[in-house]
Structure 1
């Protein structure tokens, strides 16, 4: 049969265009999500910068008091105030970036405080974050506020006197709706500036904390070694648990079926001479048991690594899990390209175990799975509207999820207040 070449065909160009639409929508969603996340981080950074500014002013007052000899006794207490402000920033950065563990307690006595390298780094931090971080937070929040004010100005301009002008830098006379619409167009510019500059401002605001509040290299290395030792032990435990699960599945399922096939075949062989009709019936039962054993083996193989995950990717595999869930479940996946096989497999089994718990224990009416990639991290969330009160120690499989995630050097967070909802969040490193 002759080969048909679609190059230059009038429908070929049109068939390539629909792919641009979803890609553009994914890009817009990603930029909007990044902007909203940046605004959230700028708000949190502005709060910690106010604390840092207060701590910095306290240090300045203590330094001035030391010039007249009355501030030396205040240095330990001021160091504790600086440590408190720095720890708030550590906690904020640890929620969105790499963990910044808090240092030991502030040493007792003036000499111990002055020799502590942590105190010196934190003093530099409050000076930088209380000034530059505060300014960046104000600028970052003024962009979306200005965008909202300008975009909504045509709705309320008529209540203001014309000579009052508009919001922000709009100080000319507003004589009617056309002038108000010009102000609204300026709001679109402010919105574009928010989307373009917000993430960069958030990164700059967090820079002093990442540089100055991180532990020194030797301390960081020892903490990392301890963390890797713990995750290695968790990986070995998870591997042992998985082997026991596979062994139990084979022993309780396929092995019993194969034993039944063997017994039935022996009975059929003995009945061939005495009662051929009975032998045919026994062979039919053996055939059924063999088919069940094959089905059990396929189930075990799929539980090791589902073929759909390798063939069609994470989105299709999660759609299959949602379709088989006993609770109506929506799936939203925004992962450009493919992640490492181990990362996708971990995400798949996390969602599979979580949906199993939802169907068995939560009493939920709906569930939602969301997966998206942000830089070098894969974020997975499973939310249900059930009764809540999920407990890791109750044998519901949550401990296994945690071990699997920690074995991959990821983060696991479970929020399940009584009455619900239950939110399971997982963050996995997936490279760049």
Structure 2
């Protein structure tokens, strides 16, 4: 069993969808395949922006206008496919997409009427991109005569806890849901990424760019031997080629190395993707749908990696943008037990995620990184936590 994931750029136009479908069909000749697709490139941003603009530009934009913009983008792709793909039925696809457009407009209208967009509603809106792209890809494959089954990700990717927009997967429930699909059955199983549901059936999400994570969970659930992540780059590089022009492609990398690079800014894989595939030792490839003949990067167990000239001190360099360094400092920190615990307990209450921690050797300063948009909340809560120490000049104002 092979699982494949195609990102937004691989789904960005009729031509790109057809190229992705050709790759799927090629793989399906020799194996059953599970396929996870993202939203059409740019649609997730359009959906997010519509929520922001709905309240920021009150009176100048309408839910109907936002719906029309999203529909127009998909209509263009569908029309191009209808004119270029034999047996492709635009009417059949539009019939499936129409209720999703209606739901989108209704959710925006209700949010505008109430003056807010609750998290549960926002989840439903943000997950519509994948729900819209699946029927289009399904029709391309069906028109080619492929043996296909479409899965609703909300029936298989089950979450249990965590924020609704970045929910925690319930691994045992996911395995149980996929279990009946193992073994014989349809040649191709097609599912949208990113979207999930909790144990009560309420829609949740796996976090932005979570389609990689969906594919890894599908690979785990189907007991796949291999996972392929198809994007618009040839694989994992020693650095971001947009920043370092002479960065080189890494041919083989361990799960642990890939996890570190993805966590600290590499855009090739979603940071959480490695957890389920590493635990099952699923061989994973990062490949380019625009250059399918390229070798790509293989990600596997450390004991299976063949280093050409030894592992070397550095495997790759990555960077994070939109990150702020927060520092708690003062003479009162040195030698006092429980300070670090208080710092990170307070940060936990803020809901922020700590990306990096460092402490000066003098114990005078504890510094850590959070997302830039979380900075003010973290600073406020820390200043409240250490208000008495600040009054006694033992701790400085958090910077």
- TM norm structure 1: 0.19
Greater helix content:
1
Query: Which structure has the larger Rg over C-alpha atoms?
Result: 1
With CA pairs under 8 Å and 6+ residues apart, which has the higher RCO, 1 or 2?
2
- TM norm structure 2: 0.21
